[in-house]
Structure 1
Amino acid sequence: MAPGIPTAMDRPHFIGIGGAGMSGIAKILAQRGAAVAGSDAKESATADALRALGVTVHIGHAAEHLADDASCVVVSSAIRQDNPELARAAELGIPVVHRSDALAALMGGLRPIAVAGTHGKTTTTSMLAVSLTELGLKPSYAIGGDLDAPGSNALHGDGDIFVAEADESDRSFHKYAPEVAIVLNVELDHHANYASMDEIYESFVTFADRIVEGGTLVISADQDGARELTRQVAGTVRTVTYGEAEDADVRVLSIVAQGLKSQVTVVLDGQELTFTVSVPGRHYALNAVAALAAGAALGVPAAELAPALAAYTGVKRRLQLKGEVAGVQVIDSYAHHPTEMTADLEAMRAAAGDARIVVVYQPHLFSRTQELGKEMGDALALADASLVLHIYPAREDPIPGITSELIIEAARAAGAEVTAVPDKGEVPSLVAGMAKPGDLVLTMGAGDVTDLGPLILDRLSK
């Protein structure tokens, strides 16, 4: 068994191995020398990337896919209890390990940076992974999205830093013990698991309490929820605040939009630094400042890290340009919470100038739509026109009376031009009939709306 593989994970089986979080852990274990296997619902480029590393990937879920000698079965919170491979694991007495426990074990002996918050985790984790790699520090990392090619969401590096996205949705980020933790923002989301903001704060306080002795919490000085969390953990952990607020420890002096980039000037430890962020939007510029503050807290010289952050040019589904046909740019956005939707649309508005913005929006989860449907509609009012699809259920069962109409009615009440599209297959033709040269088309949401980008481009070319 190769060094760095926890004994219980030398022959792991992953149920749902193609998922963003699961595939990253599987990849790191395979790179460390473990005999990794798993299953997923359908074929994907991620599955092929894992196979290229020697991972056995089965398509479909069946009891016979689980080898009798598997050392453990790794699951996420999305795996249902009636999964046949999970039932087979119980019959064989094979230990079941949650994804977060597996990731925590991989961090053992290293210097973890855990990135948390309601929005921006994937981008900030990616910024750190790219910039630290650019400096030759060879970090390990596990990200909730691909940087470029399929399977680029994780890597086993030879350095002593491990950068990980820390998911609050199911409280699994309580498993980590970071040297540096980032909290970008604190808002009410994941309504199936949190009933109130009090529960959200309690969960984030527990996460902050997990920071190792002598470690640092890097947290926004601008966002109300983050400021409240800072107040609640005062005196229990060293905090470094960042942002545009006058009392921020890492003070942002200016964010200047330069087309699809931004120039950011900050003051850190009395030193003024100006650097480029190679993606558009104030929210992404502030994510870069969080990454800078976290790296500095870990001992990476800020004057070296700041310019290295410019090497980050985006991650899949985070305002990712899918292509341009007939003067129309098609961009993919993972935004599915109203705050994210607003931030991405404002970033596009700043970059687009007078260009029209057409959004194809797919709501994600019935519970989120039930709680935040009005706010989603308000966000869509920032676009010039929107097409709204049916709710993408993911892991949830339908909730009676909760449909996309909640969002559509709110958007129209806010003055938005919105069209309901029951059949996703109609979208490419509808967009082709609406879009004009110079327009920006955003496919937006956390579900399979991302698949529409290439189809829209193809239809525009005809």
Structure 2
Amino acid sequence: MAPGIPTAMERPHFIGIGGAGMSGIAKILAQRGARVAGSDARDSETAAALRALGVTVHIGHAAGHLADDASCVVVSSAIRPDNPELARATELGVPVVHRSDALASLMDGLCAIAVAGTHGKTTTTSMLAVALTELGLDPSYAIGGDLAGPGTNARHGEGEVFVAEADESDRSFQKYDPEVAIVLNVELDHHANYASMDEIYESFEAFAAKIRPGGTLVVGEHSGARELARRVAGAKELDVVTVGESAGSDVRLTRITPRGMTSEVAVLMDGTEHVFTVSVPGRHYAHNAAAALAAGARAGVDPAALAPALTAYTGVGRRLQLKGEAAGVQVIDSYAHHPTEMTADLEAMRGAAGDARRLLVVFQPHLFSRTQELGKEMGDALALADASVVLDIYPAREDPIPGVTSEVIVDAARAAGAVVTPVHDKDTVPDVIAGMARPGDLVLTMGAGDVTDLGPRILARLGG
């Protein structure tokens, strides 16, 4: 049976409870019996799901939202120091707990599998959660997106396995001590927190150092992940397992056969070939599935049973998620916001579209700092589409940087030969796409901000 509730978590108050990471922890605590409360800037489906679990959710931030008997206040790195609830917690002497510490406490006593990497964390964590559930192992999980099947990003299970997405953006993944860890790839991102690749590697090395003695580090074929494997290869009581298509990989993908919006994958592990279907297109998703298979096997799950169970994964919100079809046009949503992610998803959709269908993209850059550093590469990626619409930068937690606008991406895309239309008023996008699209086209809304809201609106406009 899974552990109970840590004393500090009996009456937690979450600031920003509607966020993907925060809401997941709140759900698990509520399911374990904690009296959970919190606040968020706006109401949402996530807030409604939390209320259905008995969680008190306040809309807006105010000192009065914090109950006097709160056992702790849970925050993420996105919460600013002047938040009134955080200030009230300091005044009352209520302990402030970072989201990563709260999640780490929930994994105590369980076989934890932590999934890290610059890209692919949510998908790989989801694949494991779905497959283990399919096998009746009743895992707990905390994921950065909603599973297409269960429709939730987190769950408390009575089984012995806890699968968690491990976020490197603010170094918080260094708080976890998993039995098995996956590092899919290592690239420079989160420029507000990391100044160089050396800092990135140091952070991932610290994460690997926290793997429990005798545990396993599964690394993908990405050059950065393999460099990490080289750096930690001499660590005592750590088994490093490589996954990839190259002949030297410990777990090798021997075949990836595209089949429309799915792929058939063959993986050779410990002398046995396992063949199964990955229900999303693209080579990178096949690699994610192979890493999930390797990690699950190292956690003690029979790979002969786990491989076919991975077929039960049908997707996760915003990871090439089909939003619908209208007037013969399919609209698909992608969370991709880093050039590597954009290229991978665009190549996957290019393959799914074939020669007869056009691929139209609505891209919203995410963060001024990322656009400043990687804007040219984002523009290069958009050249894979037949035509693109580029929106203004979604700022999230950042203040503007003088001179940094989405025009950096537009200029780079045009220089790469792309057909690009800059649109500054997001509300006009459905009309713009309706004027561009024709039956048979694929429309991809892409980015980590609120561009996802446009999918239903584009469908409504096309259908009207």
2:321 counterpart residue number: 320
2:124 counterpart residue number: 124
The TM-score with structure 2 as length reference comes to 0.98
Q: Is the 8 A contact 1:388 1:421 kept in 2?
A: yes
Residues 1:188 and 2:188 are matched in the alignment: yes
Rate the CA distance shift 1:190–1:406 in 2: closer, same or farther, 3 A: same
Matches within 5 A, 1:407-418: 407-418=409-420
Paired with 2:203 and 2:247, the residues of 1 have a C-alpha distance of 28
Per-residue displacement from partner, 1:56-109 (whole Å, max 9, x unpaired)?
Answer: 000000000000000000000000000000000000000000000000000000
Paired with 1:273 and 1:112, the residues of 2 have a C-alpha distance of 24
When structure 1 is superposed on structure 2, of 58-67 and 140-149 the one drifting more is 140-149
Tell me the SS of whatever aligns to 1:158.
coil
2:4 counterpart residue number: 4
Q: Is the 8 A contact 1:114 1:165 kept in 2?
A: yes
How far the C-alpha of 1:429 sits from its partner, in A, is 0.2
Residues 1:262 and 2:263 are matched in the alignment: yes
Per-residue displacement from partner, 1:7-45 (whole Å, max 9, x unpaired)?
Answer: 001000000000000000000000000000000000000
Give ranges in structure 1 of 5+ residues lacking alignment: none
How far the C-alpha of 1:149 sits from its partner, in A, is 7.5
Q: Is the 8 A contact 2:3 2:109 kept in 1?
A: no
Rate the CA distance shift 1:159–1:150 in 2: closer, same or farther, 3 A: closer
1:231 counterpart residue number: 230
Q: Is the 8 A contact 2:242 2:250 kept in 1?
A: yes
1:420 counterpart residue number: 422
Tell me the SS of whatever aligns to 1:31.
helix
Per-residue displacement from partner, 1:98-155 (whole Å, max 9, x unpaired)?
Answer: 0000000000000100000000000000000000000000000000001138961000
Per-residue displacement from partner, 1:169-216 (whole Å, max 9, x unpaired)?
Answer: 000000000000000000000000000000000000000000000100
Matches within 5 A, 1:239-258: 239-258=240-259
User: Which amino acid is 1:364 matched to?
Assistant: H
Tell me the SS of whatever aligns to 2:365.
coil
When structure 1 is superposed on structure 2, of 147-156 and 80-89 the one drifting more is 147-156
Paired with 1:150 and 1:293, the residues of 2 have a C-alpha distance of 24
How far the C-alpha of 1:360 sits from its partner, in A, is 0.3
Per-residue displacement from partner, 1:352-404 (whole Å, max 9, x unpaired)?
Answer: 11210000000000000000000000000000000000000000000000000
Off by >4 Å, runs of 4+ in structure 1? none
Residues 1:211 and 2:207 are matched in the alignment: no
Tell me the SS of whatever aligns to 1:58.
strand
Matches within 5 A, 1:126-145: 126-145=126-145
Paired with 1:124 and 1:213, the residues of 2 have a C-alpha distance of 23
User: Which amino acid is 1:325 matched to?
Assistant: A
Q: Percent same amino acid among aligned pairs? A: 79
1:48 counterpart residue number: 48
Tell me the SS of whatever aligns to 1:294.
helix
User: Which amino acid is 1:224 matched to?
Assistant: S
Paired with 1:287 and 1:151, the residues of 2 have a C-alpha distance of 20
1:71 counterpart residue number: 71
Paired with 2:3 and 2:154, the residues of 1 have a C-alpha distance of 18
Q: Is the 8 A contact 2:178 2:211 kept in 1?
A: yes
Q: Is the 8 A contact 1:119 1:185 kept in 2?
A: yes
User: Which amino acid is 1:402 matched to?
Assistant: V
Matches within 5 A, 1:334-373: 334-354=335-355, 355-373=357-375
Per-residue displacement from partner, 1:260-315 (whole Å, max 9, x unpaired)?
Answer: 11111111001111111111111111100000000011110111000000000000
User: Which amino acid is 2:329 matched to?
Assistant: V
The alignment's C-alpha RMSD in Å is 1.0
Tell me the SS of whatever aligns to 1:383.
coil
Paired with 1:242 and 1:145, the residues of 2 have a C-alpha distance of 24
Which of 380, 383, 388 lines up with 2:382 in the alignment? 380
Q: Is the 8 A contact 1:73 1:96 kept in 2?
A: yes
Q: Is the 8 A contact 1:363 1:392 kept in 2?
A: yes
Q: How many residues align?
A: 460
The TM-score with structure 1 as length reference comes to 0.99
Paired with 2:322 and 2:107, the residues of 1 have a C-alpha distance of 33
User: Which amino acid is 1:319 matched to?
Assistant: L
User: Which amino acid is 1:84 matched to?
Assistant: P
How far the C-alpha of 1:3 sits from its partner, in A, is 5.7
Q: Is the 8 A contact 1:15 1:38 kept in 2?
A: yes
How far the C-alpha of 1:227 sits from its partner, in A, is 1.1
Rate the CA distance shift 1:137–1:149 in 2: closer, same or farther, 3 A: closer
Paired with 2:122 and 2:3, the residues of 1 have a C-alpha distance of 28
Paired with 2:191 and 2:198, the residues of 1 have a C-alpha distance of 13
1:310 counterpart residue number: 311
Paired with 1:200 and 1:424, the residues of 2 have a C-alpha distance of 34
How far the C-alpha of 1:245 sits from its partner, in A, is 1.1
Q: Is the 8 A contact 1:45 1:150 kept in 2?
A: no
Paired with 1:4 and 1:373, the residues of 2 have a C-alpha distance of 46
Q: Is the 8 A contact 1:23 1:151 kept in 2?
A: no
User: Which amino acid is 1:181 matched to?
Assistant: A
Q: Is the 8 A contact 1:89 1:95 kept in 2?
A: yes
How far the C-alpha of 1:341 sits from its partner, in A, is 0.3
Q: Is the 8 A contact 1:216 1:240 kept in 2?
A: yes
Tell me the SS of whatever aligns to 1:306.
helix
Rate the CA distance shift 1:392–1:149 in 2: closer, same or farther, 3 A: farther
Q: Is the 8 A contact 2:149 2:314 kept in 1?
A: no
Tell me the SS of whatever aligns to 2:159.
coil
Matches within 5 A, 1:95-114: 95-114=95-114
Give ranges in structure 2 of 5+ residues lacking alignment: none
Paired with 2:33 and 2:15, the residues of 1 have a C-alpha distance of 19
Q: Is the 8 A contact 2:3 2:108 kept in 1?
A: no
Q: Is the 8 A contact 2:364 2:392 kept in 1?
A: yes
Paired with 2:300 and 2:242, the residues of 1 have a C-alpha distance of 16
